[in-house]
A = this chain, B = another copy of it.
Amino acid sequence: MNRFDNDTQVERIDERRWRAEVSPAWSIGVNPNGGYVLAVVLAAARDAIEHPHPLTTTAHFLKPATTGPAEVHVEVHKVGRRQSTVSGWLVQDGVERLRVLSSFGDLDTFAGPSRVTATPPDLPPVEECEQRSEAVLATLPEIARRVDLRLRPGVMFGPPADEHEAVFEGWVRFSDEREPDVASLPFLADAFPPPALRVVTASWIPTLELTVHVRAVPAPGWMRARFATRVMVDGLLEEDGELWDSAGRLVAQSRQLALVLPG
């Protein structure tokens, strides 16, 4: 089994509780990545209802999760023809770590007008983008070994500068070449480093809240991604993300509210 599927497995305990194991493989320092922990909660939520696709998911991060055993609790608010809405939350040592609200549906059942004016990032081919060397990876958090990011040339991680834009664009896939699917899109929408690091020094930029819309079932292959911050005031910022699949379709849109901690 690939790493992501292995590390997001949950086991049902009863009607409302699932057992999970938070893996150390997706951490940034000692803290498991928020998008990874969200994927664990969504695995339990998916098990609780019939609809297959997390159309819209919001996570509020209350306290960093730790690696090791956890329980996921799920409460179903609505089961409808078009959507099922649930709350889910992850508990470790009796403390709630994140709270999730999500509506699931079936993207294959929607019918109606289509009109797209957004366009995917105009990137050079994957092989011309920056690949992180083993030497660089050794200096980066654990999660960087799980996700293969190929940034636009000339936009490497590095010291911030006033003349930079707070934007990261690049290709993305799992390092073990597991194909993207709807279950992994909320995670992949949180797998880039914060683009605000291009313009400010920070010890970290924790996410207070992350919302991801899954808009289409992704085709296999590399995805194009764009993450940008346009408004940072008193350290509080939004980060908007888009993921486009190899067929040129927008498959996920994300926005998070995050906070710059002094560097």
Contact = CB atoms under 8 A, between A and B. Distances in A.
Could you say which of A82, A110, A249 has the most chain B C-beta atoms within 10 Å of its C-beta?
A110
B103 A209 contact: yes
Contacts of A235: 110-114
A255 to B, nearest CB: 6
A12 interface: no
B257 A56 contact: yes
Interface residues of A, number: 55
Contact of A208 (B83, B233, B253, B259): B83
B99 A85 contact: yes
A112 B233 CA distance: 7
A236 B60 contact: no
B230 A116 contact: yes
Could you say which of A80, A165, A208 has the most chain B C-beta atoms within 10 Å of its C-beta?
A208
Given A101-B58, A208-B83, A211-B211, A230 B117 contact: yes
A214 B211 CA distance: 15
A236 B112 contact: yes
B166 A58 contact: no
Contact of A238 (B103, B113, B213, B259): B213
A250 B232 CA distance: 10
Contact of A115 (B103, B166, B255): B166
Interface in A235-263: 235-236, 238, 249-250, 253, 255, 257, 259-262
Interface string A64-89: 00000000000001101011010101
Contacts of A232: 112-116
A117 B56 contact: no
Contacts of A257: 55-56, 213
B56 A112 contact: no
Contact of A112 (B80, B83, B231, B259): B259
Interface string A199-215: 11000000011010101
29 contacts: A55-B257, A56-B60, A56-B208, A58-B58, A58-B101, A60-B77, A62-B78, A83-B208, A101-B101, A103-B209, A107-B236, A110-B233, A110-B234, A110-B235, A112-B234, A112-B236, A112-B259, A112-B261, A113-B260, A114-B232, A114-B235, A115-B166, A116-B231, A116-B233, A117-B230, A211-B255, A231-B250, A253-B255, A255-B255
The 5 closest A-B pairs by CB, nearest first: A112-B235, A118-B230, A110-B234, A58-B58, A56-B209
